[in-house]
Chains A and B, each alone.
Chain A
Amino acid sequence: MTKKELKQYLEVTYPNLEVKETFNFPLLLVNKEDVIPVLKQLKDAPETRFNFLFCETAVDQNPNLEMIYHLSSTYYHHDLEVKVILEERENPIIDSVYSLWEAADLYEDEIYDMFGIRFKGHPNLRRIMLTDEWNGFPLRKDYQDDKIISL
């Protein structure tokens, strides 16, 4: 599907979800609770067949945290961006998409390491880059550390 067709398809299929158009991909805003059902439907539906999670990341839009999934299809060669807004900041938790795409394993490890978002159902959630005894999550906007020298 082309970008316009995919956007129309999403608007028809998910009438209660917001669909936006960004610079390169259509953007679908999903609620926190519906992540697994919506992504599973996008993966399995014969019209879309998003079988490849090529990027999973997070953004700290203070005070909200955002989860971002970039999906691609090796059958139809179309791409999609799915965004989930997490309003909780103290102990954010979301369902893991490891059951859908195994590529999520290391992505979610890194997001936990840098942003402190926990993933329900992830097989091995751990600090992947920093040391195990590290305090805080460095890519958050309010991260404080004695080691940092500011300009």
Chain B
Amino acid sequence: MDVKKDFIPEFEAEAYKDDMGKTSFIVTSIDVVANWGRSNSLWPLSFGTSCCAIELMSTVSAKYDWSRFGFEVMRASPRQCDLIIVAGTITHKMAPVLKRLYDQMPEPRYVIAMGACAVSGGPFYYNSYAVVRGVDNVIPVDVYIPGCPPRPEALIHGMLTLQEKIRKSKAYVIEKPKKKEKQ
């Protein structure tokens, strides 16, 4: 019985040789390369509204040092960011500002809800007239981190979870153009 061999496309190695006489290239998928780049260079927006921002600052600084994982620079402008960490309480007055910041960020953009207030309203869930009960009422959230406030380790774990999520996602989603409806 014949065993079928896997199809290996032939190519002329001579054509790919460089000046040094070596052939060097990698075959991979575009998703892996793009997600590798995206997940390891997330630039967060410096956005903190209350006490969770203190833990956020602690995570940035030397003791916990999140630049080990690729969250190197915090940007003050949403145009240069691809990650927003909602660190703190969002009031009804703050919600339109947050929405505008999110809309100004270039795609692909990711959101982390840090702490009880951003997850569900936290201690302000009951008897409050001013607080939004969960930031997912305003913008879509990728990763939730519970805690009041979460430890820096929890924040780093959440961010690594986000990296994992990015690596598993499709890098480029090409939407088919919609057919125009006949009038």
**Chain A residues close to B by CB (< 8 Å):** 129-131, 138, 143, 145, 147-151
Contacts and interface: CB of A to CB of B under 8 A. Distances in A.
Given A130-B93, A131-B93, A150 B129 contact: no
Contacts of B128: 147-148
B24 interface: no
**Chain B interface mostly:** loop
Contacts, number: 23
Contacts of A138: 129-130
A59 B127 CA distance: 19
Contact of A151 (B92, B127, B130): B127
16 contacts: A129-B93, A130-B93, A130-B130, A131-B92, A131-B93, A138-B130, A143-B129, A145-B129, A147-B128, A147-B129, A148-B127, A149-B126, A149-B127, A150-B127, A151-B126, A151-B127
B125 interface: yes
Interface residues of B, number: 9
Contacts of A145: 129
Interface string B103-127: 0000000000000000000000111
Nearest to A147: B129
Nearest to B93: A131
